[in-house]
Protein backbone atom coordinates (compact mmCIF):
# COMPACT_ATOMS: atom_id res chain seq x y z
CA UNK A 1 0.00 0.00 0.00
CA UNK A 2 1.28 3.45 -0.93
CA UNK A 3 1.77 6.08 1.77
CA UNK A 4 1.19 9.80 1.48
CA UNK A 5 3.06 12.05 3.88
CA UNK A 6 2.33 15.77 4.16
CA UNK A 7 4.92 18.30 5.21
CA UNK A 8 3.38 20.38 8.01
CA UNK A 9 3.42 23.41 5.73
CA UNK A 10 1.47 21.52 3.06
CA UNK A 11 -1.19 20.56 5.61
CA UNK A 12 -1.54 24.22 6.58
CA UNK A 13 -1.71 25.22 2.90
CA UNK A 14 -4.61 22.81 2.28
CA UNK A 15 -6.49 23.94 5.39
CA UNK A 16 -6.08 27.58 4.42
CA UNK A 17 -7.28 26.96 0.83
CA UNK A 18 -10.31 24.96 1.98
CA UNK A 19 -11.23 27.65 4.51
CA UNK A 20 -10.86 30.34 1.85
CA UNK A 21 -13.21 28.50 -0.55
CA UNK A 22 -15.72 27.85 2.24
CA UNK A 23 -15.82 31.52 3.23
CA UNK A 24 -15.81 32.91 -0.30
CA UNK A 25 -17.84 30.41 -2.33
CA UNK A 26 -19.35 27.92 0.12
CA UNK A 27 -18.69 24.39 1.34
CA UNK A 28 -19.60 22.67 -1.93
CA UNK A 29 -16.73 24.30 -3.80
CA UNK A 30 -14.37 23.61 -0.90
CA UNK A 31 -15.39 19.94 -1.10
CA UNK A 32 -14.74 19.91 -4.85
CA UNK A 33 -11.26 21.31 -4.26
CA UNK A 34 -10.55 18.60 -1.70
CA UNK A 35 -11.85 15.88 -4.04
CA UNK A 36 -9.69 17.05 -6.94
CA UNK A 37 -6.63 17.31 -4.71
CA UNK A 38 -7.17 13.78 -3.39
CA UNK A 39 -7.67 12.47 -6.94
CA UNK A 40 -4.43 14.09 -8.11
CA UNK A 41 -2.49 12.70 -5.16
CA UNK A 42 -3.95 9.27 -5.89
CA UNK A 43 -2.56 9.50 -9.42
CA UNK A 44 0.85 10.41 -8.04
CA UNK A 45 0.97 7.29 -5.92
CA UNK A 46 0.39 5.20 -9.04
CA UNK A 47 3.53 6.68 -10.62
CA UNK A 48 5.94 5.90 -7.79
CA UNK A 49 7.31 2.75 -9.38
CA UNK A 50 7.89 4.46 -12.73
CA UNK A 51 10.03 7.17 -11.12
CA UNK A 52 13.77 6.64 -11.33
CA UNK A 53 14.94 9.70 -9.44
CA UNK A 54 13.26 9.69 -6.06
CA UNK A 55 14.87 12.85 -4.69
CA UNK A 56 13.66 15.17 -7.46
CA UNK A 57 11.04 17.71 -6.45
CA UNK A 58 8.14 17.53 -8.89
CA UNK A 59 5.14 19.71 -9.63
CA UNK A 60 1.58 18.65 -10.41
CA UNK A 61 -1.26 21.02 -11.37
CA UNK A 62 -4.88 20.66 -10.41
CA UNK A 63 -7.11 20.80 -13.49
CA UNK A 64 -10.11 22.80 -12.30
CA UNK A 65 -8.52 24.90 -9.59
CA UNK A 66 -5.63 27.37 -9.93
CA UNK A 67 -3.31 25.45 -7.63
CA UNK A 68 -0.31 23.18 -7.92
CA UNK A 69 1.51 20.99 -5.48
CA UNK A 70 5.17 20.21 -5.08
CA UNK A 71 6.05 16.68 -4.07
CA UNK A 72 8.75 14.06 -4.15
CA UNK A 73 9.00 10.32 -3.87
CA UNK A 74 10.64 9.30 -0.61
CA UNK A 75 10.94 5.64 -1.51
CA UNK A 76 9.02 3.03 -3.54
CA UNK A 77 6.04 3.29 -1.21
CA UNK A 78 5.91 6.93 -0.11
CA UNK A 79 4.99 10.28 -1.67
CA UNK A 80 5.72 13.41 0.36
CA UNK A 81 3.57 16.46 -0.40
CA UNK A 82 5.78 19.47 0.22
CA UNK A 83 3.46 22.41 -0.50
CA UNK A 84 0.20 23.40 -2.21
CA UNK A 85 0.23 26.85 -3.79
CA UNK A 86 -1.85 28.95 -6.15
CA UNK A 87 -0.80 29.71 -9.69
CA UNK A 88 -2.58 33.09 -9.57
CA UNK A 89 -1.15 36.30 -8.17
CA UNK A 90 -2.78 37.43 -4.88
CA UNK A 91 -4.31 40.56 -6.43
CA UNK A 92 -6.26 38.37 -8.87
CA UNK A 93 -7.58 36.21 -6.05
CA UNK A 94 -8.74 39.27 -4.12
CA UNK A 95 -10.45 41.05 -6.99
CA UNK A 96 -12.06 38.36 -9.14
CA UNK A 97 -13.94 35.14 -8.80
CA UNK A 98 -11.77 32.13 -9.15
CA UNK A 99 -12.06 30.07 -12.30
CA UNK A 100 -13.31 27.17 -10.21
CA UNK A 101 -16.03 29.32 -8.60
CA UNK A 102 -17.18 30.54 -12.00
CA UNK A 103 -17.31 26.98 -13.38
CA UNK A 104 -19.22 25.83 -10.33
CA UNK A 105 -21.82 28.59 -10.75
CA UNK A 106 -22.29 27.69 -14.41
CA UNK A 107 -22.77 24.03 -13.54
CA UNK A 108 -25.39 24.94 -10.94
CA UNK A 109 -27.22 27.13 -13.45
CA UNK A 110 -27.32 24.30 -16.00
CA UNK A 111 -28.73 21.88 -13.41
CA UNK A 112 -31.74 24.14 -12.77
Domain with 19 in it: what CATH number? Answer: 3.30.2310.20
Q: Render pLDDT for 63-103 as a digit per residue (tens, 0 to 9).
A: 988 889 999 888 878 888 998 888 665 554 554 455 566 66
pLDDT greater than 50 at residue 11: yes
Write out the residue range of the structural domain in which residue 105 sits: 3-111
User: Looking at residue 33, what is its pLDDT?
Assistant: 92
User: Looking at residue 6, what is its pLDDT?
Assistant: 92
Helix (H) or strand (E) holding 80: strand 78-86
Model-level pTM? 0.72
Residue 26: which residues within 8 A CB-CB, separation 6 or more? none
DSSP, residue by residue, 46-63: HTTTT-S-TT--EEEE-S
Residue 23 burial by Cβ neighbours in a 10 Å radius (0-12, 13-18, 19+): exposed
The total number of structural domains in the chain stands at 1
Amino acid sequence: MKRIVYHVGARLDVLEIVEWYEQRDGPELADRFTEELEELIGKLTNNILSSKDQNTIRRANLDKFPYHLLYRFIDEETVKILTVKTRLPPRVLRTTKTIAAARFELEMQHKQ
